[in-house]
Amino acid sequence: MSDPASELERLRASIDRVDDRILESLNERARLARAIGTLKAGQAYRPEREAQVLARIKQANPGPLADETVALLFREIMSACLALERPITVAYLGPKGTFSERAALKHFGLAAEAMPTASIDEVFRAVESGAADFGVIPVENSTEGAVGRSLDLMPQSALKVCGEVVVRIHHHLMANAAPKDFADIRRVFSHGQSLAQCHEWLNTNLPQVERVAVSSNAEAARRAAEEAGSAAVAGEMAAEHYGLKILASNIEDEPNNTTRFLVLGDYEPKPSGHDKTSMVLSARNRAGAVYEMLTPFATRGVSMTKFESRPSRVALWEYLFFVDIEGHRHDANVAAALEEVMKIAGYLKVLGSYPIAVL
């Protein structure tokens, strides 16, 4: 029977050799990425290429590491390699500690320079002015629906949708110091949507506590850190950033609570093989116009994944329709459907074609 101490040393030596090979491979990859960067003109970030790499890596993964873990590691490798040319600046709805920051870092990696802004409007302005290369905005939550301000701004902007990020949302109750019991909490701060997403838990556990809606969950955490008798409902990043103690975890009413974010920039991704196209439409003022406008997608075999209406803000009772379909605008069937829809719709703007989020 082998000596446990000797076996431990042998295994550690094997890990060291593997680490040396990993380090050598990482630097070789970085040198290749830098060489490719010298050959590319313009935008170094290619979301379609990154999506293809992550999809291939997940498919080739033999385990025991989970596909999601492998994808996260390779996202960071690509982020670090890209930063050798120039770190990407990404604007998001701040302050630090929001789920928007988490989405930005999930998509672009820790090597990106994350730029918090005061509002969704400021995200658009930062990218449009060139202060940021890309912006990340929330567009819909699985339980609370669309983020109206994001949808209202997209038709007005020349920015293109060039990516999407899906983030699982876990809400936690947090405070500056752990109270003896919840009776010490007099008010709870959070974003209005987060309060709604934790409505039943709050009713059961903090029925008499005042609920105060603020501009973001990170702002809620900041106020909870400064105001006695206060708590916040926010994400783990906010607790870490403001030094709060988590009193209760995963208090969202819907266990599969998820928020979808879009990436905005001055770039049009090429087809990746697994894409989505977002657009905004308006129907002509006649009977059956909406049905007629959407029929070309069905006849061309194009699957629709989203259909959302919003007031046009131009005329009373006029609406814009936000539509997501599977496929890239340059795919033959999608291109043919869009050409036909353009002749039928009162208005059509393709917001962008981009790789479907790698979960």
- What residues are labeled active site? 259, 261
The residues, any chain, with a CB within 8 Å of residue 59's CB and separated by 6 or more, are none
CA 147 vs CA 107, 111, 151, 261, 329: distances in Å: 20, 28, 7, 10, 25
Distance CA 358, CA 78 (A): 14
The distance from CA 249 to its chain's CA centroid, rounded to whole angstroms, is 22
CA 235 vs CA 108, 116, 143, 183, 257: distances in Å: 19, 16, 17, 22, 13
Other C-beta atoms lying within 10 Å of the C-beta of residue 19: 10
Exposed (0-12), middle (13-18) or buried (19+): which is 256, by Cβ within 10 Å? Answer: exposed
Distance CA 168, CA 256 (A): 7
- The token duo for 354 is 């981009």
∠ CA 354-140-69, nearest 5°, is 65
Exposed (0-12), middle (13-18) or buried (19+): which is 15, by Cβ within 10 Å? Answer: exposed
